[in-house]
Amino acid sequence: MRTLRRTLLVSALLALGAIGLAPAAGAQQIVDASGERGGGGLAFVLMTLLVMLTWAALFFMDRIRRRRQEQQPSQ
Protein backbone atom coordinates (compact mmCIF):
# COMPACT_ATOMS: atom_id res chain seq x y z
CA MET A 1 0.00 0.00 0.00
CA ARG A 2 2.88 2.32 0.79
CA THR A 3 4.31 1.77 -2.71
CA LEU A 4 0.99 2.74 -4.28
CA ARG A 5 0.86 5.96 -2.27
CA ARG A 6 4.43 6.79 -3.21
CA THR A 7 3.70 6.11 -6.89
CA LEU A 8 0.60 8.32 -6.82
CA LEU A 9 2.52 11.10 -5.08
CA VAL A 10 5.35 10.99 -7.62
CA SER A 11 2.84 10.92 -10.49
CA ALA A 12 0.99 13.92 -9.08
CA LEU A 13 4.22 15.87 -8.65
CA LEU A 14 5.31 15.08 -12.20
CA ALA A 15 1.92 16.12 -13.55
CA LEU A 16 2.07 19.41 -11.65
CA GLY A 17 5.58 19.99 -12.97
CA ALA A 18 4.43 19.39 -16.54
CA ILE A 19 1.49 21.73 -16.05
CA GLY A 20 3.86 24.32 -14.61
CA LEU A 21 6.18 24.07 -17.61
CA ALA A 22 3.42 24.41 -20.20
CA PRO A 23 2.77 28.16 -19.77
CA ALA A 24 6.49 28.89 -19.58
CA ALA A 25 7.04 27.20 -22.92
CA GLY A 26 4.08 28.83 -24.61
CA ALA A 27 4.34 28.18 -28.32
CA GLN A 28 8.10 27.66 -28.01
CA GLN A 29 9.91 24.37 -27.88
CA ILE A 30 11.09 23.29 -24.45
CA VAL A 31 14.16 21.59 -25.93
CA ASP A 32 15.67 22.72 -29.20
CA ALA A 33 17.14 19.81 -31.16
CA SER A 34 18.68 21.98 -33.86
CA GLY A 35 21.94 23.83 -33.82
CA GLU A 36 25.56 23.27 -34.55
CA ARG A 37 28.19 21.39 -32.57
CA GLY A 38 25.94 18.85 -30.91
CA GLY A 39 22.97 21.07 -30.18
CA GLY A 40 20.63 18.07 -30.30
CA GLY A 41 22.39 16.21 -27.49
CA LEU A 42 19.93 17.23 -24.78
CA ALA A 43 16.98 16.28 -26.99
CA PHE A 44 18.51 12.84 -27.58
CA VAL A 45 19.14 12.29 -23.87
CA LEU A 46 15.57 13.33 -22.99
CA MET A 47 14.11 11.09 -25.70
CA THR A 48 16.20 8.17 -24.42
CA LEU A 49 14.99 8.79 -20.86
CA LEU A 50 11.38 8.90 -22.06
CA VAL A 51 11.77 5.59 -23.89
CA MET A 52 13.41 4.01 -20.83
CA LEU A 53 10.66 5.28 -18.51
CA THR A 54 7.98 3.94 -20.85
CA TRP A 55 9.69 0.54 -20.96
CA ALA A 56 10.05 0.47 -17.16
CA ALA A 57 6.38 1.38 -16.69
CA LEU A 58 5.26 -1.41 -19.02
CA PHE A 59 7.61 -3.88 -17.31
CA PHE A 60 6.30 -3.10 -13.83
CA MET A 61 2.65 -3.07 -14.93
CA ASP A 62 3.15 -6.56 -16.39
CA ARG A 63 4.91 -7.68 -13.21
CA ILE A 64 2.00 -6.47 -11.07
CA ARG A 65 -0.50 -8.21 -13.37
CA ARG A 66 1.39 -11.50 -13.10
CA ARG A 67 1.55 -11.25 -9.30
CA ARG A 68 -2.19 -10.71 -9.10
CA GLN A 69 -2.86 -13.68 -11.37
CA GLU A 70 -0.63 -15.91 -9.23
CA GLN A 71 -2.39 -14.82 -6.03
CA GLN A 72 -5.89 -15.48 -7.34
CA PRO A 73 -7.16 -18.98 -6.74
CA SER A 74 -7.50 -20.95 -9.94
CA GLN A 75 -11.05 -21.60 -11.05
Q: Which amino acid is at 1?
A: M
Residue 57 sits in the same domain as residue 69: yes
pLDDT at 51 over 90: yes
Residue 8 sits in the same domain as residue 38: no
Q: Give residue 7's domain range.
A: 1-28
Residue 23 sits in the same domain as residue 46: no
* pTM given for the model: 0.51
Q: How many domains does the chain have?
A: 2
CA–CA dist 35, 43 (Å, integer):
11
Residue 55 sits in the same domain as residue 69: yes
Residue 71 sits in the same domain as residue 49: yes
List pLDDT tens digits, range 4-47. 888 888 888 888 877 776 666 565 666 777 766 666 777 888 88
Residue 35 sits in the same domain as residue 62: yes
Alpha helices in 1-75 (DSSP H): 2-25, 41-71
pLDDT for position 34: 73
Residue 13 sits in the same domain as residue 41: no
Residue 45 sits in the same domain as residue 24: no
